[in-house]
Structure 1
């Protein structure tokens, strides 16, 4: 996205419990978003739903009941992926951070991540 001129990545999500796996995937979701910030050298704003949603039995789900608890935990990162502000899992919140997009653009250029990329190595992947 940074190659196309983005200054910040916005990720609206609805990530919650994994009823079949029985694992807390929130840390994995968070690290993936932090990786997007670091790989693109730009901040990420990850908004996630909170609360619980119950699935009632019906013919479409084979009569099963289940519930999904959303993680909340929305957060903002800096351009390196470091978390600068984070909500908790249960409360609605408004997060704030101050960014200098001009300084971040300079930092992105100085890192050389895009200068040193080798698109010829992955061209076959994007041809479809």
Structure 2
């Protein structure tokens, strides 16, 4: 069963017509808007988000503060910076992030699923990379 992906968009939808297009998200994605960093922090403190899109074109949003605070509140959150690209390009970038997360989960499962009897008592090799 797939769970809905919750996307926090930090932007003023009245000022940014491209990001306001996120109100109609495809499939299992739901978008939530925060018009400034204080509201975004409050929302992240009260709700789980899988990804946050930070509007770097809005000078009133402190993206450095958000880049520090959001991962503290939500350690698994992915941050995407909006730099003025089209809505289609941004949606593709978001999909790439979710695809990468899915591939990482599959990779972890494959590493943990050893079919060899001799490897059953060994831990997978560790890499600091």
Please indicate the TM-score interval, normalised by the length of the shorter structure.
under 0.3
More strand by share: 1
TM-score (norm 1): 0.28
TM-score (norm 2): 0.27
More helix by share: 2
